[in-house]
Amino acid sequence: MSETAKPKVAFLGTGLMGQPMAERLLAQGYSLRAYNRSREKVEPLKASGAEIVDSPGEAIHQADCVVLMLADAPAIREVIFSEAARRELSSCTVIQMGTIGPSESQDVEREVDAAGADYVEAPVLGSIPQAETGRLIVMVGASPEQFEQWSPLLQCFGSDPHLIGPVGKAATLKLALNQLIVSMTGGFALSLGIVQHEGVSVDQFMEILRGSALHAPTFEKKLPQMLSGDFANPNFPTRHLLKDVDLILDTAEEMGLDASGLMGMRKVLEKTILRGLADADYSALFDTITSES
């Protein structure tokens, strides 16, 4: 690859977040092969110029970098560490952008290194609208040299990638931020339920909240869904948030931190999924919190 040529990209995982992220790379002139375990989720990228392939090995073949936007660490191992895919990894860089635990990321790094490839973790904060417009917050676990090399590509997703430290540090920061997602959303949902139960004006509640130090933009984002009860077309499904909560709890235990307060929200998320809302937006936890059943 010449200094001026854009790297050839294999993009693995084109779900809710992966598809608009892949579209960003295509719009910036990157050559891209795309693979997804569910074929129907990758087909729309063909119209934007992606080459659609039937296996991870085909996608990785002769790629300079492999971008992973997969659900979890087991999915990563299934997709890139099969015998056929592993053979193709040599001399490329794997950029892992999903949410996995820090120890999981370090384990993946070791396996990638053993396959003769480089590894960078770059989880993102934001949802579909930010992915579509290149306004994600990109957190990078890598060496300074790797960060410099891959910043132009990462800037397609967010204009100012942040180097957090070596592998594991960015994954840790992502979990810390996702802990706030579930805790703040759960707290707001309960407060809103209390207000509604007693017939207090939601408008007055929000007016006072907005004028206080307690207000957060995420409340505004989730309020319409909670009030309407429409949790379709998720930016982030409930089942994925439960997966992240389990990662947070495991990581907190490894660190010797007391995360018992988060266990309550785990029960709420689990109950929400049992009520048939696994693929609904995670704001559906409000429906569980306010349900009398």
* 165/282 Cα distance (integer angstroms): 30
pLDDT of residue 2 exceeding 90:
no
Mean pLDDT of the chain: 96
pLDDT(99) > 70: yes
Q: CATH number of 9-166: 3.40.50.2300, 3.40.50.720, 3.40.50.300, 3.40.50.11900?
A: 3.40.50.720
Q: What is the Cα–Cα distance from 82 to 88, expressed in whole angstroms? A: 10
What pLDDT sits at residue 4?
A: 62
Res 79: pLDDT: 95
How would you write 220-282 as a 3-class SS string? HHHHHHHHHCCCCCCCCEHHHHHHHHHHHHHHHHHHCCCCHHHHHHHHHHHHHHHHHHCCCEH
Q: What is the mean pLDDT of residues 214-235?
A: 96
Contacts of 10 (CB under 8 A, 6+ apart): 32, 33, 34, 35, 56, 59, 60, 63, 65, 66, 67, 92
Q: Is the pLDDT of residue 292 over 80?
A: no
Question: Which residues in 46-79 are b (16+ Cβ under 10 Å) and which e?
Answer: eeeebebbeebbbbbbebbbbbbbbbbbebbeeb
For residue 8, the one-letter residue type is K
Task: Indicate the pTM of the whole model.
Answer: 0.93
Mean pLDDT across 71-79:
95
Report the pLDDT averaged over residues 67-94. 95
* Cβ atoms 119, 167 nearer than 8 A: yes
| Domain limits, CATH 3.40.50.720, in the chain | 9-166
Distance CA(20)–CA(129), nearest Å, equals: 9
CATH-assigned architecture of domain 172-289: Orthogonal Bundle (1.10)
Q: pLDDT digits over 112-163, tens only?
A: 999 999 999 999 999 999 999 999 999 999 999 999 999 999 999 999 999 9
Q: Is the pLDDT of residue 81 over 90?
A: yes
CATH 1.10.1040.10 positions along the chain are 172-289
